[in-house]
Amino acid sequence: MLYYLFQFLDERYNLPGAGVFQYISFRALGAVITSLLIAAIFGRKIIDTLRNLQIGESIRDLGLEGQMQKRGTPTMGGFIILASLLIPALLFAKLSNVYIVLALVSTIWTGLIGFLDDYIKVFKKNKEGLEGRFKVVGQIGLGMIVGLTLYFNDYVKIRKYAPRLLSTSNVPDVYVDIKSTLTTVPFLKNNEFDYSSLLFGLLPDSYTWIVYVVICIFIITAVSNGANITDGIDGLAAGTSTIIALTVGVLAYLSGNKVFSQYLNIMYIPNSGELVIFCAAFVGACVGFLWYNSYPAQVFMGDTGSLMLGGVIAVLFLAIRKELLIPIVCGIFLVENISVIMQVSYFKYTKKKYGEGRRILLMSPLHHHFQKKGYHEAKIVTRFWIVGIILAVLALATLKLR
């Protein structure tokens, strides 16, 4: 909104300094500062409101050290993240940008799914929360919206430049904007892959949209659930998401910048640089939430926050066509997901074969395994953050390591 206001003031009244809102870097800085301020100023009020409404976490006794001391800690703290993310994004981003619209829709959509889950747990006293099938239906719905938009929307294109014939700046660039289902494959020199090739020539290319939508659904569901599972100890999900959002912000800036994308020989996606503002607000919201959520937590984000974080991260990667980097950048989410799948699958297999279920880990997800081994949760979180930083650096290194 401020972008359009200052654009009007600049064009109509030539207001000194108003033109600075044209720069992504300035608006990103404004977004992250505003996000931090909202979390700092209103976070305490939101926590007090949740406590007054007796919206406390119902803790199941899993035999973890210090676990029962957290009983009654306010949950649904995801509202702090939602407010700190949505307000700066609405203020500083171009609201006509299709990628920003997708990010905002994804935030609200997944936030509502998480809220319904928390609402059922807290107010209906049902510890299971929203049934898994309804969560999946919601995630499938978002996957369809995102996939169909990215495939059919006329403003979603990639730009291909023709090589310069003369080494002079006076020669204009020759380029063409094309609709495509190309994505980026890390570590390969010719690192573009077209999803239409998954049809294997058995169907016309016009059916590619079906394949693409299915892939979007799978990615959004997997990453959203991965973030949800990771949210098990103080500061883990919020801190990990901060590292991931910073990485996505860098990738979005490079992908949306003509000079850097050509220099790095990566896919140039016009207008995707606007996502830097959203990523900046995302980082500010997570860091601001960590002020209250770091050990010992004064509030839990609940599914209102965790489902939203994962879903939005997945959409951001899809928007900048870097979704194949998700296993690297979101490695913490991936490992946490796999640890649960392995634990449950092995338990069922051994119970069927031997008559009693056996476990691979002391407890799943993985962070609980380390808790069972006697590690303090603050140490577990810090080490997971360090691993997340290493994975982020590795992901950025793929821009040159091919």
pLDDT of residue 65: 64
Q: What is the pLDDT of residues 296-308, one digit of tens each?
A: 889 999 899 999 9
Whether residue 345 is contained in a domain is answered as no
pLDDT of residue 67: 61
Whether residue 396 is contained in a domain is answered as no
Q: Which long-range contacts (C-beta less than 8 Å, at least 24 apart) are formed by 135-142?
A: 135/307, 136/221, 138/109, 138/110, 138/112, 138/113, 139/110, 139/113, 139/217, 139/220, 139/221, 139/224, 139/225, 139/311, 140/217, 140/221, 141/109, 142/105, 142/106, 142/109, 142/110, 142/220, 142/311, 142/315
pLDDT of residue 57: 62
Structural domain for 195, as ranges: 1-55+72-164+173-322
Whether residue 30 is contained in a domain is answered as yes
Whether residue 344 is contained in a domain is answered as no
Task: Please report, in tens digits, the pLDDT of each residue of the chain (402 residues total).
Answer: 888 888 888 888 888 888 888 899 999 999 999 999 999 899 999 999 988 887 766 656 566 666 666 777 888 899 999 999 999 999 999 999 999 999 999 999 999 999 999 999 888 878 778 888 999 999 999 999 999 999 999 999 998 877 655 455 566 678 888 898 999 999 988 888 999 999 988 888 889 999 999 999 999 999 999 999 999 899 999 999 999 999 999 999 999 999 999 889 899 999 999 999 999 999 999 999 999 999 888 999 989 999 999 999 999 999 999 999 999 999 999 999 999 999 999 999 999 989 889 999 999 899 999 999 999 999 999 999 999 999 999 999 999 888
Whether residue 149 is contained in a domain is answered as yes
pLDDT of residue 348: 93
Q: How many domains does the chain have?
A: 1
Whether residue 49 is contained in a domain is answered as yes
pLDDT of residue 170: 60
What's this model's pTM, rounded to 2 decimal places? 0.93
Q: Is 303 annotated as a binding residue?
A: yes
| The CA-based dihedral angle spanning residues 277, 280, 284, 287, taken in that order and rounded to the nearest 10 degrees | 160
Q: Is 293 annotated as a binding residue?
A: no
pLDDT of residue 393: 97
Whether residue 361 is contained in a domain is answered as no
pLDDT of residue 163: 67
Whether residue 342 is contained in a domain is answered as no
